[in-house]
Amino acid sequence: MADAGAAQDRHERRHPHQHLYPGCARAAIEGPEAVLEGLVAEDRSKRDFVVRSLNQMPGVRCTLPQGTIYAFPDISETGIPSQELADRILREAHVVVEAGSFYGEAGEGHLRICFGSESSERLEEGMKRLTAFFNGL
């Protein structure tokens, strides 16, 4: 039970945005469509850039995610366990990614990368750092 509690605590610290403020969901549903269309277009552009960048890195393959702000690239070709790789990326490239193993056995060999919460400029910098990291493996 302690392990499950620690995992839940880690998840809540990494994903504080999952708890919507009262009224946010209603505003999203009842608000002007143009605002939502703009957000979707921006996320689509970020998604396309991140996936294209990831697929150019050695040992990384990423399918195009649908309906989410997360990429889940396959890094199994590197031969490095996902938690070890996530820790190294943070330490060496100063980019925060989440180990796919956090999501169970099926997630091993993957990383989880959020592209929806960052500006395009920060995503470009993050992809440059990840490219340098994977090129150096």
Render pLDDT for 11-69 as a digit per residue (tens, 0 to 9): 455 555 555 566 777 777 787 888 888 889 999 999 999 999 999 999 999 999 998 99
Measuring CA to CA, which residue among 82, 75, 87 is closest to residue 99? 82
Residue 107 CA to residue 59 CA, distance in Å, equals 16
**Among 91, 89, 112, CA closest to 100:** 112
C-alpha span between 51 and 63 (Å, rounded): 7
Quote the percentage of the chain above a pLDDT of 70: 83
Calculate mean pLDDT across residues 85-97.
98
Contact 72, 62 (CB under 8 A): yes
16 Ramachandran zone, left/alpha/beta (phi>0; psi -120 to 50) = alpha
The residue with greater pLDDT, 3 or 23, is: 23
